[in-house]
Amino acid sequence: MNRYRYLPLTEQDEKEMLQTIGVSNLDELFEDIPDSIKFKGDLKLQEALDETALVKEMSRLAQANTHVKEFPSFLGAGVYEHYIPSVVNHMLLRSEFFTAYTPYQPEISQGELQGIFEFQTMIAELTQMDLANSSMYDGPTALSEAAMMSAAETKKKTILVSKTVHPEARQVLKTNASGQSLTVIEIDEKDGQTSLEDLKAKYNDDTACVVVQYPNFLGEVEDLAAIEKIAHSEKKSLLVVSSNPLSLGVLKPPGAFGADVVVGDAQPFGIPMQLGGPHCGYFAVTKKLMRKVPGRLVGQTTDDQGQRGFVLTLQAREQHIRREKATSNICSNQALNALGASIAMSAIGKQGLKEMAMQNIQKANYAKRALEAAGIPVVTTGAFFNEFVIDVKRSVKEVNQELFEKGIIGGFDLARFYPEKEGHMLLAVTELRTKKEIDQLVASLGEVVA
């Protein structure tokens, strides 16, 4: 019987391989490694379990976690609990999609190419941009790639990024920028939005791009019209907007404000909340920047018999060009999650997407008004989508622990990234939260904060 149940080698396979290379056993194979550095004891591993016992153990470990199906969650900050149509998982588990990898002979994979093409089309329509690529790893890497592309396009070295952009996305941006000797300067936040005065003061001839988030990390809807005017005051600077794609079901899309690049994370569409991902970034641009887009573009065409077909149109992948000229390190895309997002958007439909976005706005505003009525200070004063900030007047960590004991997953502790916001909690209210759950949150916060 095979000693390694999940490996495709038998003891006979191993014996034959050793004979082929002219050694009699594994010790002889590794004889070049000095005995002094070889580990000869037993590894501290638990005894192997049979399948039944292993399933029980894994179930026990899984039950140690509390999940959003058990407790209502008001935690967002970049990853949200949204409605996922059942058809999404059913389609993704089809073997032709689930097992597919990068199509190195892409035109033979017409189904996968069509899935990518539909994703590109829907993202372009949502953002009101000319075109979108086949997807990126996640929202933060898409934002960073947009900034790198802007610097390459404009031949300028300074990136201005608002402090209202997701803090982890800014960290990714700074890491990538350091590798390309680019300077990242942060624009101050004022009353929950990008400070236009600080943006004007820091903008200069060396500005490659201005990067903002819409709605921003604090939940507020930025004044894109005013920001665009400043970003394009020197004609060669670009405006990069990171946006929650669900919010674009009701908000005026960044493309309508003159954005040059629109990026974000497609997680709100068909991708469940998962610790550490995987996610799916999107990347949309104007036609002028079409040939500078990282990753791939899938196009639609007809064959010699006039039948509709799909082709890999552009792929500026770094291994296909001289590496010293590359501005991107993206290789594979997130085709499976992009397909999941496409299926979710198709199943929900244009009208359904608007209704879903409206429910986010209406339920979040109901929660805000209820909290204010209960005497809990709400910091957010401007327009917001599905997140807003409250002041709990004490440690958010402690408040969240007490909420958890009442069966509620609380909001995000903003002091983690904004030390001056000690006691400020970012609450997310999506379409899945019921009136009863929101009322339960308000009542519990009233007890905890009072």
Q: What is the pTM of this model?
A: 0.88
Tens digits of per-residue pLDDT, 301-360? 999 999 999 998 887 655 565 666 666 767 667 889 999 999 999 999 999 999 999 999
Whether 86-345 and 349-449 share one fold: the answer is no
* pLDDT over threshold 80, residue 139: yes
The span from the CA of 406 to the CA of 445, in Å, is: 10
pLDDT tens across 312-328, in order?
888 765 556 566 666 67
pLDDT digits (tens, 9 = 90+) for 359-400: 999 999 999 999 999 999 999 999 999 999 999 999 999 999
Both tokens of 290, joined, read: 């079409």
Place of tokens 């372009």: 124
- Per-residue pLDDT tens for 88-133? 999 999 988 888 776 667 788 899 899 999 999 999 999 999 999 9
Q: How far apart are CA 191 and CA 398, in angstroms?
A: 25
How are strands ordered across the β-sheet holding 183-187?
A: 131-132, 281-285, 261-265, 238-242, 207-213, 158-162, 183-187
Spatial separation of the C-alpha atoms in residues 182 and 212, rounded to whole Å: 18
CATH architecture of 86-345: 3-Layer(aba) Sandwich (3.40)
The ranges assigned to domains in the chain are 1-36+49-58, 86-345, 349-449
Nearest residue to 407 via CA among 119, 105, 92, 74? 74
Contact by Cβ (8 Å): 80, 87: no
Residue 203 has pLDDT above 80, yes or no: yes
Q: How far is CA 107 from the centre of its chain?
A: 28
β-strand pairing of 238-242 with 207-213: parallel
In which element (H, E) is residue 208 found? Answer: strand 207-213
How many other C-beta atoms can be found within 10 angstroms of the C-beta atom of residue 255?
22
For 349-449, CATH number out of 3.30.70.1230, 3.40.50.150, 3.90.1150.10, 2.30.29.30 equals 3.90.1150.10
